[in-house]
Amino acid sequence: MDIKRLAAKINKTAHEKGWYEKGERNFHEVVALMHSELSEALEEWRAGHGITEVRIENGKPEGVPIELADAYIRIIDTCHELELPVETLGGPVSDKSVPFSADIANLHRGLSQALDDLDLDVTKPEPKSWQLGAVAAEIERVCENWGIDLEAAVLQKMAYNESRPYRHGGKKA
């Protein structure tokens, strides 16, 4: 997956679908939505769905991989929009002795750290910007560890998102 091209395509779709209608999004809300996607992944797992299972309900892809893909999509879209690094960082695979729920909790912690670290005040030099991209890389590592095909889930969710109407459900940007 060429993450820079993927981020650009995701960001283009987000603009076309109205999610940047007024030119910007509230960063705090966007991070909260990233947290919600991670929580949805955990809820899918807790409901007894297989960790690699993807199913279609009412035409919409669902499952742990899809919810992790949703979080990943939101993260790299935000990185692209804010011109933050989106390169994958590589590194070791997450610890296989850690339960899935702990991996999700650690991803939540990373997002919270990103919110703390990312200072969007343009009057301050050199905002810390690495943490949000690091969470995307950690999602990749968690998926690799659990046998989740993140690339397939991201592509499936992107295709679904492209088929959705403008600002589906009349939601706020």
CA angle at 52 for the pair 4 and 99, rounded to the nearest 5°: 95
- Is 55 in contact with 117 (CB distance < 8 Å)? no
95: DSSP letter: P
pLDDT of the residue at 50:
96
- Given CA atoms 121, 29, 145, 42 in this order, what sign does their dihedral have? positive
Helix (H, G, I), strand (E, B) or coil at 55: strand
Residue 64, CB-side half-sphere exposure with 13 Å CA sphere = 23
pTM, two decimal places: 0.87
Domain spans in the chain, listed from the N-terminal domain onward: 3-162
Please tell me the distance from the alpha carbon of residue 146 to that of residue 29, in angstroms, as a whole number.
Answer: 29
Query: How is residue 167 written in tokens?
Result: 């600002």
Per-residue pLDDT of the chain (173 residues; tens, 9 = 90+): 688 899 999 999 988 888 888 766 777 888 899 999 999 999 999 999 999 999 999 999 999 999 999 999 999 998 888 888 776 555 555 566 789 999 999 999 988 888 877 655 544 445 455 678 889 989 999 999 999 999 999 999 999 988 886 777 666 65
pLDDT of the residue at 128:
53
pLDDT of the residue at 170:
61
pLDDT of the residue at 149:
97
Give me the helices (H) in 118-165, please.
Answer: 130-146, 150-163
- Is 11 in contact with 81 (CB distance < 8 Å)? yes
pLDDT of the residue at 30:
87
